[in-house]
Amino acid sequence: MSPRLRLAVLGVALLALVPGAAATIAHLPDFGATIAAYGERINAIAPGERHVANMVSAINFDLRGLDTLGEEFMLLAAITGTVVLLRGRRGETLTDRAMRLPGRAILPRSEAVQLTCRLAGPLLMMFGLYVVLHATVTPGGGFQGGVILASGTLLAYLGEGYGGWRDMVRSHWLDAMEGGGAVLFTVCGLAPMLTGAAFMQNVLPLGTFRDVFSGGLMLVENAGVALAVCGGFTQLFLEFLEETREADGPEEPGEDSA
User: Would the pLDDT of 257 be above 50?
Assistant: no
How far apart CA 145 and CA 118 sit, in angstroms, is 20
How far apart CA 39 and CA 22 sit, in angstroms, is 24
How far apart CA 97 and CA 94 sit, in angstroms, is 8
Contact 235, 81 (CB under 8 A): no
pLDDT grade for 163, boundaries at 50, 70 and 90: confident
How far apart CA 35 and CA 30 sit, in angstroms, is 11
How far apart CA 226 and CA 232 sit, in angstroms, is 10
pLDDT value of residue 165: 83
Provide the residue ranges of all domains of the chain, joining segments of one domain with +.
53-247
How far apart CA 99 and CA 196 sit, in angstroms, is 58
* Predicted model pTM: 0.80
Specify the amino acid at residue 129.
L
Which tens digits make up the pLDDT trace of 74-109? 999 999 999 888 877 766 666 666 666 677 677 777
Q: Go through 129-149 and write b for each residue having 16 or more CB atoms within 10 A of its CB, e for each that does not.
A: eebbbbbbbeebbbbbbbbbb
Q: How does DSSP classify residue 36?
A: P
pLDDT grade for 231, boundaries at 50, 70 and 90: very high
Q: How high does pLDDT run on average in the chain?
A: 86
By three-state DSSP, how is residue 216 classified? coil
Q: Go through 84-106 and write b for each residue having 16 or more CB atoms within 10 A of its CB, e for each that does not.
A: eebeeeeeeebbbbbeeeeeeee
pLDDT value of residue 99: 67
User: Would the pLDDT of 184 be above 90?
Assistant: yes
